[in-house]
Amino acid sequence: EIVLTQSPGTLSLSPRERATLSCRASQSVSSSYLGWYQQKPGQAPRLLIYGASNRATGIPDRFSGSGSGTDFTLTISRLEPEDFAVYYCQQYGTSPYTFGQGTKLEIK
């Protein structure tokens, strides 16, 4: 099983700041089958990034993904108030399709 470790666990930032979230895999993720999700309380996850670096439909360009192999990053260039949420990475290249434990992005 591929274990995904996200860091930090909690990130405290202010609106308009830049956020950098990390996701490290215990082994190489097949063909960059790595996605990022945003989840707000009481809501289903929302796909932000697929294939490590491709923005999903309707996702603002302040969200970007990068990385390959075992190290991946989600960057939010300039935080908006609605961006404060929990973020998960997921690998969907090798079964079981595992998630990281999440990074909570909170307002400082």
Partner 1 sequence: QVQLVESGGGLVKPGGSLRLSCAASGFTFSDHNMSWFRQAPGKGLEWVSYINIRGTYTDYADSVKGRFTISRDNAKNSLYLQMNSLRAEDTAVYYCARREGDYWGQGTLVTVSS
In angstroms, the Cα distances linking 66 to 15, 62, 98 are 22, 13, 19
Tell whether residue 41 is a contact of partner 1 (CB under 8 A). no
CB of 83 to partner 1, least distance (A): 19
- Angstrom distance (rounded) from CA 80 to CA 104: 15
Dig out the tokens for 27 from the structure. 């082994």
Tell whether residue 93 is a contact of partner 1 (CB under 8 A). no
Q: Hunting for tokens 């360009």 — which residue is that?
A: 61
Answer for which of 19, 35, 63, 76 binds partner 1 (CB under 8 A) is 35
**Residue ranges in 53-82 that form contacts with partner 1 under rule CB under 8 A:** 56-57
Chain residues that interact with partner 1, rule: CB under 8 A: 35, 37, 39, 44-47, 50, 56-57, 88, 90, 92, 95-102
